[in-house]
Structure 1
Amino acid sequence: MRTFGVEEEFLIVDPDNGSPVPLAGDVLRLHDAGPEGEAPSFRPTMAVELQQEQLEVITSPHSSLGALAAEIRAGRLYADSLAWKVGARIAALGTSPLPVTPHATATDRYDALLEKFALTAREQLTCGYHVHVSVDSDEEGIAVLDRIRSWLPTLTALSSNSPFWNGADSGYASFRTQAWNRWSSAGPTEVFGSARAYQSLVAELSGTGVVMSPDFDARLSARHPTVEIRVSDVCLDSRDAVLIAALVRALVDTAARDWKEGQRPDMVSAAVLRQAAWRASRFGLDGELLDPKTRKPLAASHVLGALYAHVRDSLEETGDAPYAKEGLQRILGQGTGAARQRQAHERAGTLAGVVAYATGVTHLVPADHQPAGKAYLASEAGTVALVAG
């Protein structure tokens, strides 16, 4: 069974007014120093991002969806427990509902980004969700990338969780996608055909003096033997994060099988895929998506059904099919993170109320969250323990 892991980016927010606060350095110093007294049984990997108002939490690779779900939840709780100690919270929001002037993290890499990309980098406070899935070789990885391209906009729609930008409703379900696509190499790619062609393009982009590392929608990881799928907003509800991970692994499995059986990839152009991504970003699941087969608008529920049918065999082989089917039905019923943020705004009447709602949902452990035999415990001291059931 292929292993998979995720990277979740979170906003660090003021619990009183909902504004992002530049406290990533303080949170990470607490993490690096370790806990006082007895060490917890669980400490995730954490990292800085471009802006000090955000924090990244990284899981270990897992073969079981249940184990990954447990670590996603525990990682959120752990990061929030550290944020509490510096007077903040973490919130799974793709963009800040409230206006913010971000504070850049001082590293050589980020300094170079700010110098080169100017306002694009200075304004870039967005939180994404990246899924890594193991592959046997670069050739298999490229075969996978070539065969999952048409389905990536559906993941954008499903995970959409960034309707607000700079204090206003953007009109988009995933405005993070719009902001992210200002990077010069962001977005969909053409079919590569081989690992050599992929590496040649990466080298050519590097040679332009513009691109430091390609920001493709999906790419080979430079550090791990994985493909990295990067189109999703950070998910408001951790159940949605688990669902996206399950679907991504199933897409990778299905694509690798198709490649081994000699099936050619869909040769749809990157230009058309960009239109599919725009539609997904604009409407989420509240409008029509482009059908990956016909490239014509189709009801979002039908496109989700087509995605499930496409990966059903892989989901059944891993035992993830019931969780995936239930998750898709749940999101169609209750709405994406973007829809739920807008509902919270209607109830609260303020953007600060949206952040307060999102902060609560970020750490909520619904009774139906766990796909398989894991449990969470939190001690009185707030230390999160991951406990095998």
Structure 2
Amino acid sequence: MNYVEGIADSARLYLQESMRPGLTPDKELELITEAERLGEASYTLMQWVAGADASQIPHQIVGPFQHIVKKLGITNDIFFRSEHLPNYELGPDDSGKNYQTLTYLAPTLKKAIGEINWPILRVTVPGHAMGMLPHFAVVNHELGHAIQGRIQFDEAPFQHDLQQFGQRLGARVQKESINWSAKASSLIQAIYNRWLNEIRADAVAYALSGPSFFFAFCGFIQLSGKSYGIAPTHPPTDIRRSLIFREMSKENPSFLAVFKAETGMEITETINSPGVPSCPPPDQLYADIVPLFGREAAAICTELAPAIAVIGPAIFDAARDYIIAHCPDLLYSPTQLQVDLSTHLEALCNLIPPIESPGPNGPEPTSLSTILNVGWAALLTRTDKISAPVGKSGDETANKLERLHELLLKATELSDARRIWEETK
């Protein structure tokens, strides 16, 4: 807000200067026009941060996510905001450099620009997530975008797959009589890079959150509507879902095995997302998405999908390797899930929030990933065992879910307070 106020203060300086006696009409108009531009910029920024107030975002989650941000080595200033749309998004703002050369630069703006670690990162979460804490696991996907450039993998083993993509694309262009434009080659690279970055973000989120990310991702794509999810910006939803599910079957024991052993429920690939369709055969997929993206982009997306499905596991391996190398304590493992569920799940049903977990040197504050995974396990398998508040009217199930949400928020707040206390004592 200091930055917004600084821009407005600079606008006022320009207005004051425009009223100085002796100015030519042209100079006066120039100053007023610049003041208007700065005023519009401050208003636009106010819109950009809308939904970031405490009434929209639970304050309890800010500290734990800031802890993850710090551990990941993200130095940018970052904030969270709610939007009443099915949308998660990481949006950067690097506008500070646009104002440093202003003739009438307000001291407040100069100070604000110097205090911000640019670019500012805005994490948008959909309003539905505010009602149930476990959905916040998807936020780690957006943090994954913040470090996507660090997740590198060897493309050499996939040259044959990429060559096959080129051959399929050539056949599609010929079959559909597409007039290939001069910009098509750059469009191929752009779509390929965007898709890789989406998989990178998924892979980082999965490494940080384990099954809780899978559950939250599936809930999000279900909410987003009955579409394939494929676009020049995103690979098909069913491929992304399948890649994450495949990862959960790895290791011994796997996340799938641990979750079933501790909860009695078997995780399926379509859990939380039964209404999300898989992509149809290529010809039908192309026909379905041409009206949305045009012939060139539709052809590229249709024929690139099989290659991305093959490349995806290598990206998940690379993300895991990066987390292990740079912030190993953030990696969420099947072993940790087993400890978390055996320690906290039944206790949570008895209204005991997961604030502490067993550690090598005694009890230690639970991580946000622990709280999210225990929360999802309770939400999916134990809501019948959570007692509704006594004397509260309304739907019993809704009251139970509200109580679960409150218990998880309390766990998040108190565990973070303990972590801060231990770090400063």
Q: TM-score, normalised by structure 1?
A: 0.30
Q: Which has the higher contact order (CA 8 A, sep 6+)?
A: 1
More helix by share: 2
Q: TM-score, normalised by structure 2?
A: 0.28
Q: Whose Rg is larger? A: 2
